[in-house]
Amino acid sequence: MAPGRGRALLAGLAVAGLLGGPGGAGAEEWGGIVPGVTTIEQVRARHGAPSKETRAKVEGHDTIQWIFEDARAPGGIRRLTVDYGLLTPQGYKQTVVRAFRLEPKPRIFGKNTVAQAWGPPDATGSQNEQEIFFYKAGLVVIFTKDGTDTVLMTFTPPQPTLPSGPAPAAPKR
């Protein structure tokens, strides 16, 4: 994958989660959090109050971000970031999890652990000499440069299947 494309793809996945809403298949989950399903009240009941809360407007919608870090982070995790606010066909749901990110401590989610827990990835790539696993069910995993540990896991609603084959030609002007 070309430099910068991994971050652009992550940003695109986040936007797809905000705009597309949950798909037909179930989303990947971790720690009782399911993007497109779990509410802010359910996260609070399971994980308690966050270390930090930020509110912002995204494309005219009020969004909320919770960060759990240090003593408030779940065991084995340096930081858990939960983004709320999901646009669905039924309307905007401000308190539904749009996406969440795990920044695990070293040796918690090695590549083999990820593959055993979530299966083989639907696609792989690399950026800055770091391997990336992509799962259509809504998971993107970025590994350390040596490939032994996980740097970041991003969970989103399921992603649409892209058509295979060459990209269509750009329209002529």
Q: What is the pLDDT of residues 84-142, one digit of tens each?
A: 999 989 999 999 999 999 999 999 999 999 999 999 999 999 999 999 999 999 999 99
The pLDDT of residue 92 is 96
- Of the candidates 67, 124, 129, 66, the residue with the CA atom closest to the CA atom of residue 95: 66
* CA dist., res. 30 & res. 56, Å (int): 25
Of 103, 109, 62, the closest CA to residue 81 belongs to 103
**Considering the entire predicted model, what is its pTM?**
0.77
Spatial CB neighbours of 23, under 8 Å, sequence gap ≥ 6: 157, 158, 159, 160
How far apart are the C-alpha atoms of 150 and 103, rounded to whole Å? Answer: 8
The Cα 122–Cα 142 span in angstroms is: 14
Tokens (6 digits) for 100:
């969440």
Backbone angles phi, psi at 88, to 5 degrees: -120, 170
CB half-sphere exposure, 156, CA atoms < 13 A: 26
pLDDT band at 29, cuts 50/70/90? confident
Is the Cβ–Cβ distance between 25 and 158 less than 8 Å?
yes
Least confident of 18-22, 62-66, 146-150: 18-22
pLDDT of res. 160: 74
Encoded tokens for 18: 């905000």
Burial of 66 (0-12, 13-18, 19+ CB in 10 A): buried
| Average pLDDT, integer, range 14-35 | 58
